[in-house]
Chains A and B, each alone.
Chain A
Amino acid sequence: MLGHYPAYVNKAAELGARRFNIPPSVWGKMSDAQRWTANQKFLDRMIARGDEVVLATPAAQARAGSFFARELEYLAGKGYAPSANGMRMVPGQ
């Protein structure tokens, strides 16, 4: 599951879905490049499984320049497209 805080956290807990999470003490010491590398690994695992990705925040509401927007662009670059209602990223055939 991907999305913006706090919907992402709440929805993942509700559905028992996998979410990307790193303790603040570790995240705070990482460079931007290290943060994105860790984030990308999480996305690559979803892509390798061929998962449909549930969005806690609609794609259209992604904040410009946010990690969430970047995650969506990364998935799209791997052939994932937003579903009609914008609440999922669906792998290409």
Chain B
Amino acid sequence: MRRAPMGCGWCQGNETPMTIEGNLKAVAGQLLAVIGLPCNDVIHEAQRLDHFGDGEVVFEVGPLHLRFLRERGQDFLDVSPASAPGEYHPFGDVELAMGWKTVDEVWMRSEPEPLPEILQRLRRHYQQLQEAFSGTQVHATLAKLDFASRRRGAAFVDHLRRLAEEAQRK
């Protein structure tokens, strides 16, 4: 992981080259600035020019690492605790773990939710997230996240099995 001492200059999106990666970084930084989250650093960035221009950029925001991921032109947001970075959780799983959404609301999507909408909710719940990802609560939060991911994953796999059974009956 590469730490770049860029500070909140990135939040303004200045001097960002207009590559796909640059766009993602600029878009993410501008969104964080607009909603008023305390963006500290860009701590990691990567891009695969040979594969759809897929890439990622990670910002440190208080006790959170926010990973903005671009995959085949679709944007996603993942979260990891800054105190134990590494395993990232889709924001939908965070919402499920925190009790803000149901399993069905998380997995039943035909396309990704736009980043501005996700970030607005993150902003609204930021204080709760700060507490959940800080100090002694981190481990309990990670356990809840793990359980939420498994529930969401099991619901999706059940859905796939039902689709396959229906297709095989035809």
Contacts and interface: CB of A to CB of B under 8 A. Distances in A.
A64 B107 contact: yes
A28 B54 CA distance: 11
A5 B54 contact: yes
B153 A79 contact: no
A22 B52 contact: yes
Nearest to B112: A65
B74 A67 contact: yes
A28 B168 contact: no
B152 to A, nearest CB: 8
Given A63-B112, A92-B168, A5 B157 contact: no
A28 B90 contact: no
Contacts of B90: 63-64
B156 A28 contact: no
Interface of B: 20, 46, 48-54, 69, 71-74, 76, 90, 92, 106-113, 149-150, 152-154, 156-157, 159-161, 163-165, 167-168
